[in-house]
Chain A
Amino acid sequence: MSKDLKFVLNGNRMEMAIEEHWTLLHLLREELGLTGTKEGCGSGECGACTVIVDGLAVNSCLYLAVELEGKDVLTIEGLASADGTLHPLQKSFVEHGGIQCGFCSPGMILSSKALLDENPRPTDEEIQHALAGNLCRCTGYVPIFESVKAVIQKDSEDIGVVVREAGSSSDS
């Protein structure tokens, strides 16, 4: 059964017909060609397909597209500014070795963003908890934690401006 859907994707208003059985992952990758969201398992175990819906990190492989009605979706393609300036988290992952093969990176970065939007000063344990659903086989996670923590430190030096400004695209 097809259905009309209205939602916001990376700041753009979308109106389109979808099939009811489509997952958000299918909608993004196969119908819209946004392949930055990765499929690592298709069953919510690895977090590679993480996107942010109304401020919450979700596994898009488990999220039905019909549930998106009226909601706001942020994928990795919408994270950098329109002029190409990287989001501080993207920049920090690049600089601190948080990326090796890169397959988990879009999901890992978006889970980190959802955490910092909710909790701008997370403890080490809170970071580990927030990223526990995003598997990485390359980095041993330590450089990923360093990437996230560097943004927090920078943020506290700049009195919160960096993270919040760049986070405005999800607008929730």
Chain B
Amino acid sequence: MEEFTAVGKRVPKVDAVSKATGRAQYIQDVKLPGMLYGKILYSKYPHARIVKIDTEKAKRLPGVRVVLTGEDIPPIRMGVYKDNPPLKAGKVRSYRDEVAAVAAIDPEIAEKAIDLIEVTYEALPAVFDPEEAMGPDAPLVHEDHKTNILKMPWSLHYGDVDAAKSEAAFSVEDRFTTTWVTHCCMGTSGAIADFDHANNLTVYTNTQIPSLAQKDFLETLKALGLKNNRVRVIKPYIGGGFGSKLDTYAYEHVAILLAWHARRPVKIMFGREEEFVATSTRQPTIIHISMGCDKEGKLLYRDMSMVLDNGAYTSWGVTTPSVMMMPITSLYRVPNVRYVAKCVYTNNTYSQAMRGYGNPQATFAIESAIDMLAEAAGIDRMEFRRINCNQPGDLTPQGFRITTCGLPECIEAVSEKLHLERPKEPGVGTGVASLIHVGGGARIYKSDGCGTIIKMDDYGNANVFTGASDMGQGADTILAQIVAEQLGIRVDNVNVIHQDTDVCPWDVGAHASRTTFVAGNSALGAAAKIRKRLLELAAQALEAHVDDMVLREGAAFVKGSPAVKVPISKLLRNAHFTPNGEMMMADYFYDPANENMGRDFRGNMSATYSFGTHGVRVRVDEATGKVEILDYVAAHDVGRAINPLLLDGQVYGGVLMGVGYALTEQVILDKGRNMNPDFRDYKILTAKDSIPLTPVVIETIDEAGPYGAKGIGEPGCVPTAPAIANAIYDAVGVRIKDLPITPERVLAAIKKKKGIDSCGIDPLTEKEQPCE
């Protein structure tokens, strides 16, 4: 058994004291001398021609410095499909379309100026239902695209699904839907753009992707004619990410444009309503699934098709089918798989990345259908999952190489801790659902890498410059522990710098639960170089063999003789302050050995995979439809828990976000307009809604991970909704196939099952039904 001094310990977050005392500076708190305040004017229509914009009154308002419209800016296109200009010209395609922007000496004047801009619109027919939007007569959201269906053909077929269907002893088929939900970071979005005397740009922004944001901002500079200028991205403390900051947004580019015209720094800061309306959601889905097994319960095929509401523009939401493919092809052993997804333009808000990145939607349908199929086959649901469980050494149909796999242990842990054997009470039920997720990075970009530079000072401290982005999850703490472990120093002696592209190396971004694995391996690689050199110096100083040297608690000694030691600080100074001296520095770039998906979408996307099983006991009130969570067990294969305190935090937070997704959260769009842009009406769970949750950590020590660790940022919120839906079915015999599972939906389903007539709006279909 290895004995660690930093890894595996419940080390408090290294930035926690700064946050507990109010010292931590978020974008809200940053002010630059001479800074102006920007505001954005949004569309009044979901789809309209812009006939005229009159900015004269706004420009004449004292204190206003710049007013811009889509006609005033060079061609800039944001997003993966490059279909989204930061200010729209010609027409608007959703209520959140930015039509003009103002910079003024204070936020109130900027707000007044926005009100003085007169826009004349000519309303166009709009489309809000993605299935309608695919029809031949649907209004086109982007005329030059010729169709509302995005030309990204997400389609795979492994094995022979049709043949498997004819062989299946048992089959189920159904339709599931999921709706818009949003990240609700407690700190709203904001950015400051600042040009220096030579037109180099610094952007202070909330971002999970400093390096890719830098690239996007460079393109905006190029559009301004600044081809040889530099961009520096500075990331203050981030008040929550969850995927929301994985792309650059209009407000960031607008701040740059305003700053360029004003020749002064410009800050744009969102209020809460703007945050709800003008940032992106998780993508809604309409899912058809059919799945079958043989008479022993072995899965034979899984056949899924989806329609995703892309909204009016294209951000990372359009690529979520690539991640949905992971559970579809590889959650449980299933030899024949078919999947096709269409992303469709509508005049709704556009979607983005959100924790789980498509996995929660796909897993909702898959794990609901697994319970349905187990029931159809007459096999116990846990036994059914055991029969089909992924195992170490598996190669899945999509070409994923399963190395370590703790799924069998997770299933057993849930069975045991949730006491599934307990006799059933009326109105009480249990449900389970499992997950697979990338745990060793995810190669969706040309590089999945992360760089680290370590610079030792003369006193035994390590400055670690990492590409990783901390957004509260604790990346900096994990990296500090890894470096401390390698160098035999205390975590307090490691200073992690992750805020600035001018000093930090490249990283693809904080997504895909990749930071502990990729940035961790990168930090490990750099620290190992320093360690090697320190051991050599120690061996010289102590006149011993290098292989016998130990680094621990800031000193080096010969194995077995800790009494005779030399401080690391002394080794560093001796090396530094000597003729032809050396400074102890090292760099390392780690890019995992995972693969881009091929044309057939095959490829080992991740260097290892995370698994988990959730189990929940609910009570359903048959009179009101209210669902109460009595007990919840979340078992995760994490490789190794580098920091159990932070790991539990990811699980507690992820699960509660998942419970919100399952039961309460919904951005209500009425013909494209956000009807609930505040916390009164958009229900994230509060302290009173917290649940009794038992996290179970399964360690499989994956040899590819840093000290054996896998990623765990997203998995907590992946299988929550199907676990709860399965528990509701177990409790009262109704299967809810649409999220969120509101009391209205549960009650309507209970009434329907009991044959009670009801009339009015049917919460299941949201369509009016006649009184019978």
B678 adjacent to chain A (CB < 8 Å): yes
**Most central of B29, B184, B237, B690 by chain A CB within 10 Å:** B690
B16 adjacent to chain A (CB < 8 Å): yes
A93 adjacent to chain B (CB < 8 Å): yes
Given that A137-B240, A137-B657 are known contacts, is A42 also in contact with B473, CB under 8 Å in the complex? no
Given that A41-B272, A129-B688 are known contacts, is A139 also in contact with B16, CB under 8 Å in the complex? no
Which one of A38, A94, A96 lies within 8 Å of B26 (CB-CB)?
A38
Please, which residue of chain B has its CB at the minimum distance from the CB of A110? B22
Please, which residue of chain A has its CB at the minimum distance from the CB of B693? A142
A170 adjacent to chain B (CB < 8 Å): no
Please, which residue of chain A has its CB at the minimum distance from the CB of B473? A100
A26-75: which residues lie under 8 A (CB-CB) from chain B? Answer: 29, 34-43, 45-46, 48, 75
Q: How far is the CA of A136 from the CA of B656 in the complex (A)?
A: 10
A-side interface mostly:
loop
- Residues of chain B within 8 A (CB-CB) of A17 are none
Q: Which of B365-373, B643-651, B731-739 contacts A (4 or more CB under 8 A)?
A: B643-651
Q: Which of B254-262, B564-572, B583-591, B679-687 contacts A (4 or more CB under 8 A)?
A: B679-687
Given that A101-B471, A103-B186 are known contacts, is A143 also in contact with B16, CB under 8 Å in the complex? no
Q: How far is the CB of B670 from chain A (nearest CB, A)?
A: 21
Given that A42-B271, A97-B648, A100-B649 are known contacts, is A135 also in contact with B684, CB under 8 Å in the complex? yes
CB pair A128–B690 under 8 Å, yes or no, is yes
Q: Mark A82-99, 1 if CB is under 8 A from B, else 0.
A: 000010001101111101
Please, which residue of chain B has its CB at the minimum distance from the CB of A96? B645
Q: Interface extent on B, as a size class?
A: 35 or more
Q: How far is the CB of A7 from chain B (nearest CB, A)?
A: 19
CB pair B187–A40 under 8 Å, yes or no, is yes
Which one of A36, A45, A46, A138 lies within 8 Å of B23 (CB-CB)?
A36
**Most central of A76, A80, A137, A145 by chain B CB within 10 Å:** A137
B-side interface mostly:
loop
A131 adjacent to chain B (CB < 8 Å): yes
- Residues of chain B within 8 A (CB-CB) of A75 are 22
- Residues of chain B within 8 A (CB-CB) of A91 are 20
Given that A45-B679, A103-B239 are known contacts, is A139 also in contact with B649, CB under 8 Å in the complex? yes
Q: How far is the CB of B15 from chain A (nearest CB, A)?
A: 7
- Residues of chain B within 8 A (CB-CB) of A77 are 21-22
Q: How far is the CA of A137 from the CA of B183 in the complex (A)?
A: 8
B17 adjacent to chain A (CB < 8 Å): yes
Q: How far is the CB of B737 from chain A (nearest CB, A)?
A: 26
A23 adjacent to chain B (CB < 8 Å): no
A163 adjacent to chain B (CB < 8 Å): no
Which one of B13, B21, B184, B686 lies within 8 Å of A100 (CB-CB)?
B13
CB pair B678–A43 under 8 Å, yes or no, is yes
Q: Mark B14-35, 1 if CB is under 8 A from A, else 0.
A: 0111111111111011000000
A interface residues with partner B (beta carbon < 8 Å): 29, 34-43, 45-46, 48, 75-77, 79-80, 86, 90-91, 93-97, 99-106, 109, 127-129, 131-145
20 pairs of residues in contact across A and B, judged by CB atoms under 8 Å: A38-B28, A38-B186, A38-B239, A41-B679, A43-B272, A46-B272, A97-B648, A101-B239, A101-B240, A102-B237, A103-B187, A135-B184, A135-B186, A137-B684, A138-B186, A139-B653, A141-B687, A142-B690, A143-B652, A145-B687
Q: Which 7 A-B pairs have the closest CB atoms?
A: A36-B22, A101-B472, A102-B19, A140-B652, A103-B239, A140-B656, A76-B22
